[in-house]
Amino acid sequence: MSVSDHSFSKYDDEGTPSDGKSSTPSLATHIVNGVERLVLDAIEKTKPLEVDPARSQLFELFVAAEEAGLIADDSKVGVFDGFDEESSVTDLSADSLCRLLARRWGLDMAAREAQALQTRLPADQLERMRVLWSMMRMWMEWSYAWRRWDEFHQA
């Protein structure tokens, strides 16, 4: 299955639902929507992302992002750098991807509110966060391995 085979949810470049007629979403938006779909499917089906076919599909999205130059070297990315929906430069590093999906789902605000009120996150939001962390861990590991490939495969 190639990246083009994925059925992406329809969002415009700002991450809001779109009818798909007004503008064509960017490759970065397609990748983010594909990751979102995989994470939500894993939650719905109560299957880990680390198991195929989800792992393979997530890796294909990672490869597409890497080949397009959308993944910044996470060892050189600042804490507040990342996916800026109004910028022409897009970073789909693990941290940026996680922040974007957390913002899209309201997890960032829910976590702040839970902390301020000293309460727990609702179970559904906690599950989304758990699966998002799984995705983020795999994405970081792939990024690290990709960066160091040449170092271990010299002739």
Q: Which residue stretches of the chain have pLDDT < 70?
A: 1-25, 74-89
Distance CA 78, CA 58 (A): 24
What are 11's strand-pairing partners?
17
Peptide bond into 53 cis (omega under 30): yes
Helix (H, G, I), strand (E, B) or coil at 116: helix
List, for residues 85-129, the tens digit of each pLDDT value.
444 447 899 988 988 998 898 888 877 777 777 888 778 888 888
